Amino acid sequence: KWHLGSNDGRLPNDQGFDEWFGIPRTTDEATWSKSPNWSTDVVPLEKIMEGQKGGKSRILRDYDWEQRRLIDREITRRAVSFMETQAKRDRPFFAYVSLTQPHLPTEPNPDFRGKTGNGDWADMLAEMDHHVGLMLDAIDRLGIGEETIVVFTSDNGPEYVKPWDGWAGPWRGQYFTHLEGGIRVPFLIRWPGKIEAGRISNEIVHGVDMFATLATLCGAKTPEDRPFDSLDQSEFLLGKSEKSAREGFPIWCADRMQAIKWRNYKLHLYQQENMFAPPMKLPVPFIINLYTDPREEKPTVDTWTVGPMLKIAAEFEASVKQSPLIPMGTPDPYRPDRSK
């Protein structure tokens, strides 16, 4: 999904991409077509779209239940075609491939239904594995493997709504919460000859760190006229350092800081069990040691960790004074004040 605005001016071709194909919002809207009370006269279906830089994006077809099953195959085909074109032209490229699986509804492509014998979830994972494999095979076939950085990760933890709820292993919680199950996701990176294969680490890397990291790895410079949350993780990923450049971060949900994470500790400022539960501000915040309590149920007496976590909060507050938060509901386009 794109999910950064679905109106003209906010679509990918308006935000720096040369071309795009996909859905502007989110996959759960495909379920509307199966709702007995839904009517396109009341709420139209989301559209599958494509666009080019400098032009207006166009609608291809409705994103209904059937298209939900088929779209990842088309996304993969187009991604491979894009890479083939760029490799033929000997041009560097950046491809953001946002597969819709395993977002709800977890409906596999008909060619994968029943393939694993373990239900739709397993079939859908097999489908996703197949599509990722096709893209990796294309990179190797085109002879650009050693020049191509591949990152495989997710935007959040598992779903809460049944029957599509997922599993976060030993961690408690789902997305839309500050619990580890909602924010901790796999992160895999491949760069043959540069990044050691098979290396495993439990160090903290944040999604926002990809901006500064990829800029460094590609020899680009980041602007110096604005603050960035992104930290350069190139030394860590290249194996030049065993430690991440990041020790912690504030955990922001909606319009509030709900927790702070530092190393293997987390300071809980709010309590929220799931996406539908109201966030309750704690009268007395408590600290969790994630090594000994991955389910975040037993406050620890390691109160000395408050120091580094309050430092993270102070740094965040200082950055907000320099660059104020964008109020929810602010019209787009938004231009930050760079006079400070």
- Does 5 reside within a domain? no
Decide: helix, strand or coil at residue 173.
Answer: coil
pLDDT tens string 87-133: 999 999 999 999 999 999 999 999 999 999 999 999 999 999 999 99
Element (H, E) at 196: none
Per-residue model confidence (pLDDT) at position 228: 85
Mind giving me the DSSP string for 66-97?
A: HHHHHHHHHHHHHHHHHHHHHHHTT-------
Any idea what the CATH number is for the domain that residue 72 is in? 3.40.720.10
182 and 200 co-located in one domain: yes
1/163: higher pLDDT: 163
Asked if residue 301 and residue 181 are part of one domain, the reply reads no
Residue 190 counted as domain residue: yes
Q: Is 307 a residue whose pLDDT tops 90?
A: yes
Interstrand relation of 248-253 and 256-262 (parallel, antiparallel or unpaired): antiparallel
What CATH code is carried by the domain that includes residue 312? Answer: 3.30.1120.10
Domain count across the chain: 2
Any domain includes 54: no
Does residue 222 share a domain with residue 178? yes
Binned at pLDDT 50, 70 and 90, residue 7 comes out as confident
Structural domain span for residue 126: 63-247
Kindly tell me the burial class for residue 80, based on how many C-beta atoms sit within 10 Å of its own C-beta (0-12, 13-18, 19 or more).
buried
The predicted pLDDT at position 340 comes to 57
Same-domain status, 260 and 215: no
Q: Please report whether residue 208 resides in a domain.
A: yes
Q: Residues 272, 237: one domain?
A: no
Asked whether the predicted pLDDT for residue 267 surpasses 60, the reply is: yes
Asked whether residue 199 is domain-assigned, the answer is yes
Residue 112 sits in the same domain as residue 239: yes
Residues with Cβ within 8 Å of residue 122, at least 6 apart in sequence: 116
What pLDDT sits at residue 261?
98
Q: Is 75 a domain residue?
A: yes
Q: Which of 219, 247, 275 is the last residue of a domain?
A: 247
Contact 261, 273 (CB under 8 A): no
**What integer pLDDT is reported at residue 5 of this predicted model?**
86
Residues 265 and 237 in one domain: no
Q: Which helix (H) or strand (E) holds 140?
A: helix 119-141
pLDDT in the model for residue 108: 97
- The phi, psi pair for 271, rounded to 5°, reads -120, 125
Residue listed under structure tokens 């079939």: 123
Residue 56 lies in a domain: no
Burial class of residue 145 in the structure, from the number of CB atoms within 10 Å of its CB (0-12 exposed, 13-18 middle, 19+ buried): middle
End of a domain among 247, 279, 310? Answer: 247
Considering the domain architecture, whether residues 272 and 136 belong to the same structural domain is answered as no
Last residue of one domain, picked from the residues 195, 213, 247: 247
285, 296: one domain: yes
Same domain, 302 and 177: no
Q: What is the pLDDT of residues 173-227, one digit of tens each?
A: 999 999 999 999 999 999 999 999 999 999 999 999 999 999 999 999 998 887 7
Beta carbons of 242 and 233 less than 8 angstroms apart: no
Residue 209 located in a structural domain: yes
Does an H or E element contain 324, and which?
none
Please indicate, yes or no, whether residues 253 and 144 belong to a single structural domain of this protein.
no
**Shared domain check, 243 and 94:** yes
